[in-house]
Structure 1
Amino acid sequence: MAYVNPSTQSIKTCFQSHYSLPYFQREYKWNSKHFVELLNDIQNTFLLSFDPSHGRRDVSNYSPYFLGSIITSTAINAKKPLIDGQQRITSIFIILAYLERFRIDHKISDALDLSTFLGNFNYGEMNYAVEFSSTRRSIFDKYLDKSQTTEDAIKSADEIPGIDDGDKKILEALRATDEVLDDIVRNAMAYFIDYIIERVLLIDISVDNESEAHRVFVTMNDRGLRLGPIDLLKGQILSKITSPEDSYSCHTVWVDTINKLRNIDPEEDSLFFRSLFRAKWADTIRGKSKGDAPGDFDQIGDAYHRWFEENTGTLGLNNSDDYVRFTRDDIKRFAEIYQFIKRAEDNIINGFECIYYNSARRYGFQSMVLLASIEAHDNTTEWNKKIALTARLIDIILTSRTIEGKDNNYDNLRDISFNLAKALRGKNSSDLLAYIQSEWGKFFPVIARLGQMRYEKVGRSDILYILARISSYLEQEFNLTNKVGFPVYWQRDRGSKTFDIEHLLRKNFDDTALPQSHGFADAKDYNDARNLIGALALLPRSRNRSLQDKPYREKLSAYATENILVQTLCDNLYQSNPNVAGYVSQHPDLKLGSITDFSKEDIVRRTEFYTYIAELIWKQPT
C-alpha cells in the first residue's frame, strides 16, 4: 500500500476536483431519512458553536464535522475516479445545490457563491463536479434554473422521463432539505455556507491508479480493518457472558437480529440501538445554553457503544445472567417491534396508520417515542395497543404545531420528543391510554383554528398533508370504490400524476366577473381570502395545469371526474352516490353540499367543512 496517500480535506478543497464514477458507484441509495440525519448532524454541530454575536471569521474556529472517507485514484481527463464515497459526495452536492438555490432565491448577497463548487460551463453545457447520468444532470439543470421558482423547478424535474430510483431519492432529498432546515440556520445562512465549505471535512484516500484504489476499497470493506460501534457493543455484551453455551446461543440470536435489521438498511442496526437506549434509559439531554454539557441523549447519538459501557448499571446489567437475558430476550424482542415500526412507516398497516402518517412528515424520533412505553415482556396485543396509541398522540402533536405555524424540524422536536419518551416509560396500555387522554386537551382545541392556515404563511407541504388526510378520510367514510389513498395524494415523484394544491379561485381579482355580491370588498380582500385553506383543494398536476386560471364555474365539470375533495363541490356526487347522501344526512353540522359559484361566504362554509372533518380525524382515543 505504498501508493496510498490519505489527506484531510475541506469541502472547498474536495469540490475543486471533478469526479468520475465507476459503474458500481453510480446508484444513489440513501433514503430520505439517511440524508436528513446527515443534514441534521451537520446543522447541530454548527449550532453548538454558532453565536449571533460572532463575525464570519469566527466560523474558522468552529468545531468541524467529520464526514468520513472517500477513495479516489489519479485523475484521468481531469476527473478523479471515485472508487468509494459516492453516497457522501452526492449528498454534499445536494446540500450545496440547495444552499446555492436558497442564496439566490433569498438574495443573500454576502453569502459565498457556490456555483463554482457545483461545476463549470464548457461550450455552453454545465459540467458538474460529479459525473452524473444524463437524467441526473437534467434534474440539477432544472433545479438550478434561476428563471423558475424553486417549486416549479422541482415540478419540472419530477417530470423528466426515464428517471431511476436514485434520481427520485435525490429529488426527495432536495424537498426534504427545505423542510428540515433549522430557523437559526436560515437566518444565518452566510455563516452556515462558510461552515459547510470550510469546516465539513473528509479524508481523501488517494491511490496512484484505479486498480490499486479497488484493492484499498476491498481491504477496507471486506477485511474489517476497523471495528464499528455495533461490533464494539457486541463485544462488550458477549464478553460478560461466562457460560460457553449461553455465549453461543446469544451470539446466534445477535447475528440473526442484526442481519434482520440490516435487511431494512445497512445502517439500521445502529439506528435501532440509538433509538432503544434513548427510549428506555437515557435521562438527560444537552441544554439550550451556550457551553451546556452533552447529556445521555447526545452521547448516545455520538457513540452509543461507549454510553452503554458506562451505563450498564442503569440498564440493570450486573451479572452474566442479566447479559444473557438482555441479549437473548430483550434485544431480540425490541428489535422485532422496531422492525414492525419500520414496516408501518413504509406501508400503511390497518390500525397503525398514524405511524405511516408521522413518517410521511419525516418525523425522525418516532421509533424512540414508540419504543419508550414498550416492555420486553409485553405480549403482541399489549405492544400493538401501545404503539398505535402513541402514534396517534404524536400525530396530533405534529398537526397542532402545523396549524399554529410552528416548524416540525429536528431541533424544534428534539426536546419535545425526548421528554415525551421519558413520560411514557413504564406504563401499561391502560395507564398509557389515560395519560394520552389527559394530554389530548392540550392539542385538540388547536384543530378549530384550521381555517387560519394559509397557502403563503404555512409550508405548502403542510397544507397538502392536511388536505390529503381529509381526502383519504372521506374516501373511507363514503366507502368509495375508486379510492386514491393518502400515499398517492402525498407521493411527490409521480410526474404529471402528482397531486398539487388547487386554488378554487382565479389568481387575479376581477370586479366585473366577481361583483360585490360575492362578498369580496377589493383585490386585497380577494387575494387574502383566496389563499386560505377553505379556498384550496387537491388536483393531479396535469389536470391542475390544464385548467390553468379558468373561472370556478368553468372548472366544475372537470372537478366532477376527479378526487373526492373537489367532487364534494359538485352536485353529481350527492345525486349519484347514496353513501355520500347518507353520510351528509347523519352529520347535519357538516356544512357539505355542492357550490355552483364560489364566493367569500363559501370559503367560510368550506373551512367549516374541513374543520369538522379534521376534528373527527384527530378526535380523542377512547
Structure 2
Amino acid sequence: MSIKSNDMTVNQVFSHTKYYIDFYQREYKWRKPHITNLLDDIFYRFELEYKPTIDPTPENIDKYEWYYLSSFLTNSYNGQTYIVDGQQRLTTLTLIMISLYHLGNHYSEEELVEMLKTKIYGADITGKTYWMGQNGRMEVLDKMLKNEPLDNLPDNNISHVNMVNNFQTIQKYLEDRLINKHIYKSFVIYFLTKIILINIHIEKQKDVAMVFEVINDRGEKLRPYEVFKGALLGLIDKEEIDGKYNDIWQKGIEPLEAINDDLPDNFFRDYFRAKYVDSLGDYRDYDGEYHKTVFSNKWNEVLQLKRNINNIKEFIKNDFQYYSKLYHKLVDPQIFNKPYGEYVFYNSLTDQDRQLLLILAACKVNDPEENEKIKIVSKLLDRHYVLLHLFGCYDSNSFSRTIIEINQSIRNKSIAEIEKAFDRILLKDINQVKNTSITQPFEYAFFKDNNNLGIRFVRYFFARIENYLSTNINYQRLNDSQYYNYVRNTGSVNGYHIEHILSNNSENKALFNNDEEIFQKERNRLGALLLLKGKDNISSGNETYNNKLKTYSASNLWNRTLISDFYHTNKDFQTLINNEGLNFKPYNIFDRKAVEERQQLLFQLVKKIWG
C-alpha cells in the first residue's frame, strides 16, 4: 500500500518530527475568520466536557470525548518529512501552543510550560529546531516564543504578516476564555491529548500529485492555480524543483498574489486564451476549472502538458516565467505613470480587462518590442471600444467575438501587422452594424445623433476631451486620481456628474418651439452635455443658461469654452484653435444651432484623439 494513515493527538504530531513545507503548499494565508472559526469549534467541544469541580489531571481529562480536527498529508524524501497538505492548521496549532506557553507563565504552571516548549521546538543534529520553523519561519516563531517585538519583521512576506496577525488574535481569544488556572490547565491537557488529526503519509513521491489533487478537489478547495502548480511540479524530481522550478513559479505568482488573490488565476486564463484560443467555444473552455481543462484530451493535443515532464519544464522556464512577469507589469497599480502604461490605465477605467490577454497574445517570449506592443495594443483597443460606442455599433456579445478575432489576428505579430489587424476589424465591425462599405471609420452621420451611451462611458469620453485640451494648451495632463474622479468616483465632493446644459425649463423649450420631442432629443446629445464636479450640477439644477455660465466659468476647460472671457485670457488656447482648425466659439444663447455646432466640434476632437 502506497498510503498509510495514522490518527495522532496534537501531542504526538509535535513530538519529534521537523516538518518541511512542500512546494505544493501555499503561503500561510489564514486570517482572523479562519482562526476564530477554528478556536470556536475547539472550545465548543471542550466546554461541553469541562467541569470546573473536577481536578484537571490527565486521568480526568482522558474521560472527555475526543475531537477530530482534520487530516494532513506528508511525504518523506531524503530523510525529511514534507507537509503536502495541512500546513495552515499545523502552523495555527503552533501559534496556539506559543500563546498557551505565555499564558502558562502568567499562571506559573511551570510543568505545563516546559511540556509546551517541547511541542514548539526541540533539538536535532543542527541544534535548536522549531517543528514548524522551516522554510524561513524560525525567526518569527523565535520572536513570538521570546515575547520580542514583532513590528520589525519584513512586511513583504505574506506568511510572516499573517502569522503575526493571527498570533495576536489567538492571544486575545485565549486570554478571554482561559480566565483562571483551573480552566487553563484543563484546556492545555485537552488540547494536547484529545484533539485528533489523521496523518496520511504518501510513501512514493510520484503519487503525491495525484493524492494532493484528489483531496483538494473533494475537501477544502485550494485555488485553481495552486492545484495547477501541484499537477505540474509534482512530476519533476525534487532535486530540480527546489532552487529552480519552484523558485521560478514563486517569483511569477507571489507578485500577483500581493496585488490581488484572484490575479494568478486570471493570469492563467488570459495566457491560455491569448496563446491558443481561436473561437468563442475555445474561449469558454477556460471560464471555469482551467487547471483541468488544460489536461483534457482536446487541449492536451495542443498544449501537451499532461505527464510530459520535458514540456512542463520548458513551459515553466519560458512561457510561464516571461508572461507572468509581463502580466504583473500590466496590472501594476502605478501603470499610469509608466512610459508604456497610459492606455492600459484608460482601458482599466472602462473595464476593458481583456486588453491583458491581447497584449499577451501580441508579445513573443522575451519580445524586444514588448513596451511598444503594450502601447499600441492598449491604444488601439481603446480606439476600437470608443469608436464603436460613439458610432452606435457597440454590442457586448459581438464585442466578445471581436476580441477573439483580434486575439487570433495579432498573436505573435509585428507592430505593423497589429495595426493593420485592428484597422481591418474595426471597419468590418462598423460596416456590419451600419450595413455600409466605408473604407475609413470617421463618418459624422454615425456620430451625429447617437446618444445611447452609458453614464460611465460619457464620463470617460469627456475626461479624454478634457485631457486633450489641458495637454495642448500648456496645462498639466490629468493624473490618475483626476481620471478616477472624472470616470468612476460617484461621491458628492470629488466625483463628477453629467450635466445637461439645457435644463428642463420653459425658457429653453421656447428655443425649440416648445416641441418636447425635439427638445429632449437635442438636450441629450453629447454636444449639449458636460461634466461638473461634486454638487455643482445639483446647484446649477434648473437654472437658465446665463446663470449656468457662472458655474461653468469655474469648472473644466471644456465647460469654459462656452464663455467668451476664456478666449481672451488664454492665448495658448487660441493657438490650438488656429493650428488644429478647431471650431471653438463661445455662446450667449444655447439653442439647437449651438447644440449642432458643439456636436460637430466634438467630432473634430474625436478624430484628433482617436484618429
TM-score (norm 2): 0.58
Q: Structure 2 CA distance, aligned partners of 1:605 and 1:550? A: 22
- Partner of residue 244, structure 1: 239
Q: Does 1:323 align with 2:312?
A: yes
What's the secondary structure of 1:302's corresponding residue? coil
Q: Structure 2 CA distance, aligned partners of 1:70 and 1:493? A: 40
Of residues 460, 471, 474, the one that matches 1:479 is: 474
Deviation string for 1:321-379 (max 9, x for gaps)?
43323212321110111111112696454443222222212224221222111111312
Structure with higher Rg: it is 2
Q: Is the 8 A contact 1:509 1:523 kept in 2?
A: no
Offset at 1:255?
A: 1.6
Of residues 362, 370, 385, the one that matches 2:351 is: 362
In structure 2, give the amino acid aligned to 1:314: V
Offset at 1:618?
A: 0.8
- Partner of residue 253, structure 1: 248
Q: Is the 8 A contact 2:522 2:592 kept in 1?
A: yes
Given the superposition, is the C-alpha separation of residues 384 and 539 from structure 1 closer, same or farther in structure 2, using an over 3 Å criterion?
same
In structure 1, give the amino acid aligned to 2:295: E
Q: Structure 2 CA distance, aligned partners of 1:350 and 1:608? A: 32
Given the superposition, is the C-alpha separation of residues 527 and 615 from structure 1 closer, same or farther in structure 2, using an over 3 Å criterion?
same
- Partner of residue 445, structure 1: 441
Given the superposition, is the C-alpha separation of residues 584 and 424 from structure 1 closer, same or farther in structure 2, using an over 3 Å criterion?
same
Q: Is the 8 A contact 2:402 2:425 kept in 1?
A: no
Q: Does 1:428 align with 2:414?
A: yes
Given the superposition, is the C-alpha separation of residues 597 and 285 from structure 1 closer, same or farther in structure 2, using an over 3 Å criterion?
closer
Number of residue pairs aligned between Structure 1 and Structure 2 = 397
Q: Is the 8 A contact 1:345 1:355 kept in 2?
A: no
Of residues 589, 608, 615, the one that matches 2:600 is: 608
Q: Structure 2 CA distance, aligned partners of 1:276 and 1:230? A: 13
482-491 vs 496-505, which moves further: 482-491
Q: Does 1:373 align with 2:362?
A: yes
Of residues 374, 379, 382, the one that matches 1:387 is: 374
Given the superposition, is the C-alpha separation of residues 577 and 326 from structure 1 closer, same or farther in structure 2, using an over 3 Å criterion?
same
Given the superposition, is the C-alpha separation of residues 553 and 72 from structure 1 closer, same or farther in structure 2, using an over 3 Å criterion?
farther
Offset at 1:599?
A: 1.5
Given the superposition, is the C-alpha separation of residues 501 and 350 from structure 1 closer, same or farther in structure 2, using an over 3 Å criterion?
farther
RMSD of equivalent CA atoms = 3.7
- Partner of residue 518, structure 2: 525
Given the superposition, is the C-alpha separation of residues 604 and 500 from structure 1 closer, same or farther in structure 2, using an over 3 Å criterion?
same
- Partner of residue 224, structure 2: 229
Q: Which 5+ residue runs of structure 1 have no aligned equivalent?
A: 2-22, 27-68, 74-209, 287-295
Q: Does 1:398 align with 2:385?
A: yes
Q: Is the 8 A contact 2:359 2:378 kept in 1?
A: yes
Deviation string for 1:455-514 (max 9, x for gaps)?
xx432222222222212221112221485743331132432321111111121333xx77
In structure 2, give the amino acid aligned to 1:277: F
Deviation string for 1:27-75 (max 9, x for gaps)?
xxxxxxxxxxxxxxxxxxxxxxxxxxxxxxxxxxxxxxxxxx99999xx
364-373 vs 316-325, which moves further: 316-325
Within-5 A mapping of 1:128-207:
none
Q: Structure 1 CA distance, aligned partners of 2:339 and 2:506? A: 45
What's the secondary structure of 2:287's corresponding residue? helix
Q: Structure 2 CA distance, aligned partners of 1:593 and 1:437? A: 33
In structure 2, give the amino acid aligned to 1:298: R
Q: Is the 8 A contact 1:489 1:498 kept in 2?
A: yes
Within-5 A mapping of 1:495-534:
495-510=492-507, 518=511, 520=513, 522-534=515-527
Of residues 271, 279, 302, the one that matches 1:314 is: 302
Offset at 1:243?
A: 8.1
Deviation string for 1:195-214 (max 9, x for gaps)?
xxxxxxxxxxxxxxx999xx
Q: Structure 2 CA distance, aligned partners of 1:482 and 1:401? A: 25
Given the superposition, is the C-alpha separation of residues 549 and 24 from structure 1 closer, same or farther in structure 2, using an over 3 Å criterion?
farther
Q: Does 1:415 align with 2:401?
A: yes
- Partner of residue 280, structure 1: 275
- Partner of residue 302, structure 1: 288
Q: Is the 8 A contact 1:285 1:297 kept in 2?
A: yes
In structure 2, give the amino acid aligned to 1:496: V
Offset at 1:235?
A: 2.5
Q: Does 1:339 align with 2:339?
A: no
Q: Structure 2 CA distance, aligned partners of 1:554 and 1:242? A: 77
Offset at 1:614?
A: 0.8
Of residues 488, 491, 494, the one that matches 1:491 is: 488
- Partner of residue 266, structure 1: 261
Q: Structure 1 CA distance, aligned partners of 2:563 and 2:40? A: 61
What's the secondary structure of 2:578's corresponding residue? helix
What's the secondary structure of 1:537's corresponding residue? strand
Offset at 1:424?
A: 1.5
In structure 1, give the amino acid aligned to 2:361: A
Q: Does 1:574 align with 2:567?
A: yes
Given the superposition, is the C-alpha separation of residues 312 and 607 from structure 1 closer, same or farther in structure 2, using an over 3 Å criterion?
same
- Partner of residue 13, structure 1: none
Given the superposition, is the C-alpha separation of residues 321 and 430 from structure 1 closer, same or farther in structure 2, using an over 3 Å criterion?
farther
In structure 1, give the amino acid aligned to 2:251: D
Given the superposition, is the C-alpha separation of residues 346 and 575 from structure 1 closer, same or farther in structure 2, using an over 3 Å criterion?
same
Offset at 1:440?
A: 4.7
In structure 1, give the amino acid aligned to 2:607: E
Q: Structure 2 CA distance, aligned partners of 1:70 and 1:452? A: 61
- Identity across aligned pairs (percent)? 22
Deviation string for 1:208-257 (max 9, x for gaps)?
xx999xx99xx999xx9544422332223224445833664011111221
Q: Does 1:551 align with 2:539?
A: no
What's the secondary structure of 1:372's corresponding residue? helix
Q: Is the 8 A contact 2:335 2:341 kept in 1?
A: no
- Partner of residue 39, structure 1: none
Q: Structure 2 CA distance, aligned partners of 1:345 and 1:458? A: 29
Q: Structure 2 CA distance, aligned partners of 1:390 and 1:72? A: 52
What's the secondary structure of 1:445's corresponding residue? coil
Q: Structure 2 CA distance, aligned partners of 1:460 and 1:225? A: 41
Q: Structure 2 CA distance, aligned partners of 1:397 and 1:481? A: 26
Q: Is the 8 A contact 1:497 1:542 kept in 2?
A: no
Q: Is the 8 A contact 1:569 1:594 kept in 2?
A: yes
Q: Is the 8 A contact 1:447 1:615 kept in 2?
A: no
Q: Structure 2 CA distance, aligned partners of 1:342 and 1:398? A: 20
What's the secondary structure of 2:286's corresponding residue? helix
Q: Structure 2 CA distance, aligned partners of 1:343 and 1:482? A: 21
Q: Structure 2 CA distance, aligned partners of 1:604 and 1:323? A: 61
Q: Structure 1 CA distance, aligned partners of 2:532 and 2:339? A: 26
What's the secondary structure of 1:314's corresponding residue? helix
What's the secondary structure of 2:331's corresponding residue? helix
393-402 vs 224-233, which moves further: 224-233
Offset at 1:263?
A: 0.8
Given the superposition, is the C-alpha separation of residues 474 and 408 from structure 1 closer, same or farther in structure 2, using an over 3 Å criterion?
farther
Q: Structure 2 CA distance, aligned partners of 1:270 and 1:464? A: 31
Given the superposition, is the C-alpha separation of residues 532 and 314 from structure 1 closer, same or farther in structure 2, using an over 3 Å criterion?
same
Of residues 567, 578, 581, the one that matches 1:585 is: 578
In structure 2, give the amino acid aligned to 1:491: R
